[in-house]
A and B are shown apart, each in its own frame.
Chain A
Amino acid sequence: MTDATSANVPTSAPAPHKSSLLTQTALMKKRNAAESRFKAYGIAAITLSLSVLAIMLWTIFSDGVSAFKQATFSFPVTLDAEKLDPRGNRERDEMMRVTTIGYTNLLNQQLVAYLADRGISTEGVSDKDIAAFISRDTPARLRDMVLANPDILGQTIQFEGFATGRIDGYLKGRVTRDTAERDTNISVAQLDLADRMISEGILSASFNWSFLTAPDASDQRPEAAGLGVALIGSAYMMFLVVIMVLPLGVAASIYLEEFAPKNRWTDLIEVNISNLAAVPSIVYGILGLAIFINFAKFPQSSPLVGALVLTLMTLPTIIIATRAAIRAVPPSIRDAALGVGASKMQTVFHHVLPLAAPGILTGTILGLASALGETAPLLLIGMVAFVANYPAGPLDGGMLDPATALPVQVYSWASRSDPAFIERSAGAIIVLLAFLVVMNIVAILLRRKFERRW
């Protein structure tokens, strides 16, 4: 525009100029507008993804945080030796004859008696309904306690035990009087009684360590279900995956990048690695089932088989990331090393790998993170089974014992009908996320350490 005016109208300006720097040309305006638009798209995209993330985290946390709390009751229990050790000889084998039913009855009677003792009104609640406050898990715990230490028989102990899932839910707000009216498992009168027990300090909610340590529990006892076995299983698998996938992946990448001749075969290998990275994970599960369980006869549901499958699954990702990191090391560094007479191997290990380490690390952590959250292949090799016993220690063959994994536990709880399991499922997701965050922090710290570039 300025062009046109200054060209047509002679001005008295000292130096004739074609355009002023103080006004933008039409083209410049267009370019600037395009740039602002692009920035706005970027900000919109980031805002959108952040808000979706926030919503996701919010739902998970609002559903799941309560899994870390647990309603427990606490009241004095007199361990009646007559009932719990009828022969009176404190022989373990003899005492084992008293099943959990015996303990259940004892606890029920004592709770009813204790409430009456304290003068807490149990109006409208039958003795059976009071007994229903006690989790089915609790008598078994008391039995284990007594069997482990028969000397406490005859004494009166302050016993703490889980309340059932519905009462637990009431303390956490999941069960309300509205839902209780529609629920055959709990009545409004029971909730009133629960209120009175809370105010008397018999019933309370506290942090639930057993959610992290206890093994899974059956459908009737959501309050007793924990992540212990899944955590051990996931930890074993991650450990095995790291020690298998890192050496394999890095060695393969170094060979392919630095040593392998570039010919049709290596091209073929390259294409296949990329293809393998895109294979759906469940296919690796089928492969693992066929090879490791049916052919090699490794034990089903074991962390070893899970780790082998996850290693196969993450290997291509790690090879691709590692090769990219190695390729990003400037060739002039290789020339420099070769030029002073370093061998190829020395060049790679003294110069290329240290420079590629941060990239390799990032790739590895990404691969491990996806392996940690992987469910489908583990379902196929039987890791979804209900496992009530802890696997043995890592040196006692624990990697061959049946176990589950965190994401599988999430899946199996989410598919049970009791809403208490949904809460646990969300709680397990929180633990899984915490695991991931810890792994990422470790990765960042390691990166920092390696990235201390000169």
Chain B
Amino acid sequence: MYDAPTPETRLTQNTLKITARGVQVYYGDKQALKDVNVDILDNTVTAFIGPSGCGKSTFLRCLNRMNDTVASARVEGEIMLDGENIYDKRVDPVQLRAKVGMVFQKPNPFPKSIYDNVSYGPKIHGLTRSKAELDQVVEDSLRKAALWNEVKDRLNEAGTGLSGGQQQRLCIARAIATSPEVLLMDEPCSALDPIATAQVEELIDELRASFSVVIVTHSMQQAARVSQKTAFFHLGSLVEYGDTSHIFTNPSDPRTESYITGRIG
């Protein structure tokens, strides 16, 4: 099922960022993920697609150990980030999450000001030394998230007072303010209008220059537009993984084909 990195990807010299081997996830007795093996490259957008409930979010949440917060969840197998197993006992998930940022499906800004939302991460990680530097980080992050022009005059107003799409871009700004190495996005555009979606997609493409981006999406078009690699999940298994162009034009598994042509889902 799992495709080894193809010669072309090696040619672009994208190094391996994350390697997952034999990942199994259980919620209590129920198995949600079965033996997932995947290699995620640096400076690449990887899309996870698949029908609802197939385990995309579950796998995404394994990558920054957010599943630790679910009492019933149990993760087996190993996930290496830059060659280090993130499920090693010595790894502090808090430190991991500073490196692997996350944008959630529903916009969840803190009930604080826009400025405080974005500056929170840099503050707790001690990334800046002065107020001016912090201001700069906030501005840069908001600019990257295509939100700066809309909020630059009201940074002290509530983040929760923005529209849904603006909130989601604020959450993206918040995630990139800590300059993570990997950015996980769980259906980041599900609450956005087409214009905001286009902006976020453009942003994702730009982010690729500095991060490895993993995005879960229900939109085939979006996956095709933004990603270089696509993984298709079905009923807790990784069915097919490979270059996006390849998956969408010439899927090797019949289930992938039926899904992208809209016959299962």
A residues at B contact (CB < 8 Å): 261-262, 330, 332-344, 346, 350-351, 355, 453-454
Contact = CB atoms under 8 A, between A and B. Distances in A.
Contacts, number: 74
A176 B170 CA distance: 77
B160 A454 contact: yes
Contacts of A342: 94, 120, 124
B71 A454 contact: no
Sort A-B residue pairs by CB-CB distance and give the 8 closest, nearest first. A454-B158, A341-B98, A332-B108, A340-B121, A341-B97, A339-B102, A454-B111, A336-B108
Contacts of B97: 338-341
Interface in B71-117: 71, 94-95, 97-98, 101-104, 106, 108-113
A365 B159 CA distance: 31
Contacts of A350: 120, 124
A355 B111 contact: yes
Interface of B: 64, 66, 69, 71, 94-95, 97-98, 101-104, 106, 108-113, 120-121, 124-125, 158-161, 171, 174-175, 177-178
A333 B124 contact: no
A338 B108 CA distance: 12
A335 B161 CA distance: 19
Given A339-B104, A342-B94, A454 B113 contact: yes
Nearest to B180: A341
Nearest to B103: A339
Nearest to A453: B111
Given A261-B71, A340-B97, 7 more contacts: A336-B104, A338-B94, A339-B104, A340-B175, A341-B98, A346-B124, A454-B110
Nearest to B120: A340
Given A262-B71, A333-B110, A454 B94 contact: no
Contacts of B98: 340-341
A341 B121 CA distance: 7
B110 A341 contact: no
A454 B175 contact: no
B110 A338 contact: no
A340 B178 contact: yes
A367 B104 CA distance: 38
14 contacts: A262-B71, A334-B69, A336-B108, A336-B110, A339-B64, A339-B102, A340-B97, A340-B121, A340-B175, A341-B101, A344-B94, A453-B111, A454-B111, A454-B113
Nearest to A263: B71
Given A332-B106, A335-B108, A454-B113, A341 B159 contact: no
A346 B123 CA distance: 12
A330 B108 CA distance: 10
A335 B159 contact: no
Contacts of A454: 110-113, 158-161
B109 A336 contact: yes
B110 A351 contact: yes
Contacts of A339: 64, 66, 97, 101-104, 175
A196 to B, nearest CB: 72
Contacts of B121: 340-341
Given A346-B124, A454-B158, A454-B161, A337 B69 contact: no
